[in-house]
Structure 1
Amino acid sequence: MGFRKALLAGLALAATAAGPAPGDPKYVRDAQQLLKADLTVAKVAYLLQTNALGHCPRRTALPGMLVIDPSQYPGDWRRFVAAQWGADKHPTVEAVIPGGPADEAGVKARDAIVSLDGQDLGAQLPALTDKQDGGTRITMIRDRIDAAFAAGPVTLGLLRDGNPLGITVTGTPACWSFVEIGQGTGHQASAEGTVVTIDQGMLAEIQSEADLAFILGHELSHNFLKTRETLDAQGTSFGLFSVFGENGARLRDSEREADYWGVYMMTWAGYDPHDAAIFWRRHSRMDINGLFAMSHPSNATRVHDLEAVAAEIDAKKAAGKPLDPDYGHFREMVGH
């Protein structure tokens, strides 16, 4: 994606009628923790997307910055948001990925984004009100920034401490997809064709960037492989009884394929492929049951597959072969 939409709206769920004071220690601490999580997700997603270029159907360019907008928060929270991140009237840079294009060009957290290549970013956006707008403004902002960087270098018209300046940023070529943190407390991540969402409950299980790289790599693979489109074309159903018979077999195989590609993606990004199986052994102790679990391979199968993919990658490295995925061949070799 062109940037990471900062989903810190979890703070707003705990808001009182008056909203917190700008320096309220509890909310400041929560905001710092959420920012840390959001920046970690952004960094890992950036590495995955910029290192998988030869294997995705659609490309963009990533500037490596997180953007928030006042419309994501109710009016009585605006003072707190402005104090924490500077987001007052304009879309604002919440953070930059260290070493990314925006960081290297000199963009800083709290910079307000006024224009893109001289075009007013706020033009034709819904007006700010005292209420959250359900994500309409931030989605439009996200799409405009993404489209601008996909077309080439972008001169950002910024306000820093009230002073205007222009900084030109050249995004890093990358696979196209949006990645965000959801508000759910379940142990889940999902892909919806263009968006990958990882719930806060799943984030709580993450012990390393490698763990996160596998989870995001798995979900990004669904988007890059167009899993949902393929399943729809095959007439696959997703209802109550979808986990049975040939229909269920197709669902489980699509998850195995995403696991396979996810290990390759984390490897391309510089992470150890063996960490995927280590993570899944630990995650499997959550003992997720029910129809959701039946739509995925068993935990034993997934651990076996993940170990086999890591061994395949090791063998290719030792033989000096390119790390190109071949799921059809892999499936024949491992069986199930």
Structure 2
Amino acid sequence: MIAMPASAGRSPVDDDLALETRIATIGYRLARGAQARCAVPEKMSGLILHDIGGYAQSDRAAIAKSLGLGDGFGVRAVVANGAAARAGVRAGDEIVAIDGGDLTGFARDAIGAAASFDRTERMVDYLAGALARGPVTIGIRRDGQALSLTLAGDAGCAARFAVAIEDGVNARADGRYIAVTSGLARLASRDDALAFAMAHEMAHILLGHVAARRAARDRVDVRAQELAADRLAVAIMADAGFAPAAAIPLLEAVSRGRIDWLDRDHPATAVRIAALRAVLAGDGSGVQHIGDDETGRRQ
């Protein structure tokens, strides 16, 4: 998992980096915790990256000067205790090589006049592929000095997280990305609560719901899918060391505020809360095995 800058068309410099890092950190923990539930885990770096192409052409000279960003890939932040942090990568570093291969000319065709994340996204894919083969040597430019660091990825579910700068309270998954709105992050002030919303979207991916809705939208029982995603979400939370019970106050806040996190096809919030209370009460064994049979793994 490598976190992405916020919504398309918005310069990463304008985003709330603290929020972006918070979501990346929660997502990293969830992805690591859920690795046994994934058909194909990937190696994660814990990097939040950007490049000069992510800024409008008119701003690039000023950005390059203020951030010291050249033709490589800048490190906006690193996930605490993640692979990159353990390797010694720091915010403000610029990655200029992987295993001796120069990155300053990498995917230059993706840089246009308008701000675009395309080049960094291609770098994210390239790095994930390299880490899948084993540890990599990354060339770093830091304060004018060249450094070489060894980066070994952490195994986790292939999930990428993005911040959407929106007042609405929402999270959504498209099968590749999980987007969390800034409005939802404000409402879920506790990390455990935000972890539930993010784990719920991850559960949709793991359970194949996104693909099922695309294939047969009119024939899918969305309410059943939502309840199944809730059940698996609290299991993923437990796997990652979050408190599953934090799901309840978040849903209660959604209910009190009549917030449209859910559309009309979703179960009523009261139904979700009641179902989760029953799951969490269980038989005294907590949530250790919740959802194991629903993914066909961890049995």
| Fold similarity call, TM over 0.5 | yes
Please tell me whether Structure 1 or Structure 2 has the larger radius of gyration of its CA atoms.
Answer: 1
Whether the 8 Å contact between 1:9 and 1:73 is mirrored in structure 2 is no
Give distance in 1, aligned partners of 2:260 and 2:249: 20
- 1:254 corresponds, among 217, 220, 225, to 225
Whether the 8 Å contact between 2:199 and 2:237 is mirrored in structure 1 is yes
- 2:24 corresponds, among 42, 46, 54, to 42
- Give the match's secondary structure for 1:166: strand
- Give the match's secondary structure for 1:57: coil
1:307 aligned partner: 277
1:195 aligned partner: 177
**Displacement of 1:50:** 0.5
Which has the bigger relative contact order, CA under 8 A and spacing at least 6? Answer: 2
The more displaced of 146-155 and 115-124 is: 115-124
- For residues 249-328 of structure 1, the aligned pairs below 5 Å read 250-288=221-259, 293-312=263-282, 315-317=284-286, 322-326=288-292
When residues 67 and 205 of structure 1 are mapped into structure 2, their CA distance, relative to the original with a 3 A threshold, is: same
- For residues 126-145 of structure 1, the aligned pairs below 5 Å read 126-127=108-109, 131-145=113-127
> What are structure 1's unaligned runs of at least 5 residues?
14-26, 238-246, 329-336
Q: Deviations over 1:203-231 (max 9, x none)?
A: 22121100111011001111122212234
- State the AA in 2 paired with 1:259: D
- Give the match's secondary structure for 1:254: helix
When residues 184 and 126 of structure 1 are mapped into structure 2, their CA distance, relative to the original with a 3 A threshold, is: farther
**Displacement of 1:285:** 2.2
Give distance in 2, aligned partners of 1:75 and 1:153: 35
The more displaced of 3-12 and 216-225 is: 3-12
1:236 aligned partner: 217
1:160 aligned partner: 142
Name the count of aligned residue pairs.
294
- Give the match's secondary structure for 1:263: helix
- State the AA in 2 paired with 1:55: R
Identical columns (%) = 29
Q: Deviations over 1:248-298 (max 9, x none)?
A: 6x11111111111111111111111111011110122231469x6221110
Give distance in 2, aligned partners of 1:226 and 1:172: 24
The more displaced of 218-227 and 84-93 is: 84-93
Whether the 8 Å contact between 2:51 and 2:74 is mirrored in structure 1 is yes
**Displacement of 1:9:** 6.9
- Give the match's secondary structure for 1:316: coil
When residues 107 and 163 of structure 1 are mapped into structure 2, their CA distance, relative to the original with a 3 A threshold, is: same
Whether the 8 Å contact between 1:157 and 1:165 is mirrored in structure 2 is yes
Give distance in 2, aligned partners of 1:122 and 1:7: 23
- State the AA in 2 paired with 1:49: A
1:244 aligned partner: none
Give distance in 2, aligned partners of 1:190 and 1:8: 13
**Displacement of 1:232:** 4.5
What is the alpha-carbon root mean square deviation over aligned residues? 2.6
**Displacement of 1:8:** 7.6
2:58 aligned partner: 76
> What are structure 2's unaligned runs of at least 5 residues?
295-299
- State the AA in 1 paired with 2:232: W
Give distance in 2, aligned partners of 1:65 and 1:183: 20
- State the AA in 2 paired with 1:261: L
**Displacement of 1:305:** 1.5
Whether the 8 Å contact between 2:99 and 2:138 is mirrored in structure 1 is yes
Give distance in 2, aligned partners of 1:8 and 1:228: 20
The reply to whether residue 221 of structure 1 matches residue 198 of structure 2 is no
Q: Deviations over 1:26-56 (max 9, x none)?
A: x8xx65xx11101110110011000112111
Give distance in 1, aligned partners of 2:255 and 2:230: 14
- 2:92 corresponds, among 80, 97, 110, to 110
2:297 aligned partner: none
1:63 aligned partner: 45
Give distance in 2, aligned partners of 1:70 and 1:118: 21
1:51 aligned partner: 33
Whether the 8 Å contact between 1:75 and 1:131 is mirrored in structure 2 is yes
Give distance in 2, aligned partners of 1:106 and 1:271: 26
- Give the match's secondary structure for 1:108: coil
Give distance in 2, aligned partners of 1:129 and 1:63: 24
Q: Deviations over 1:299-324 (max 9, x none)?
A: 11011122122223x7224xxx9525
| TM-score, normalisation: structure 2 | 0.88
**Displacement of 1:192:** 0.6
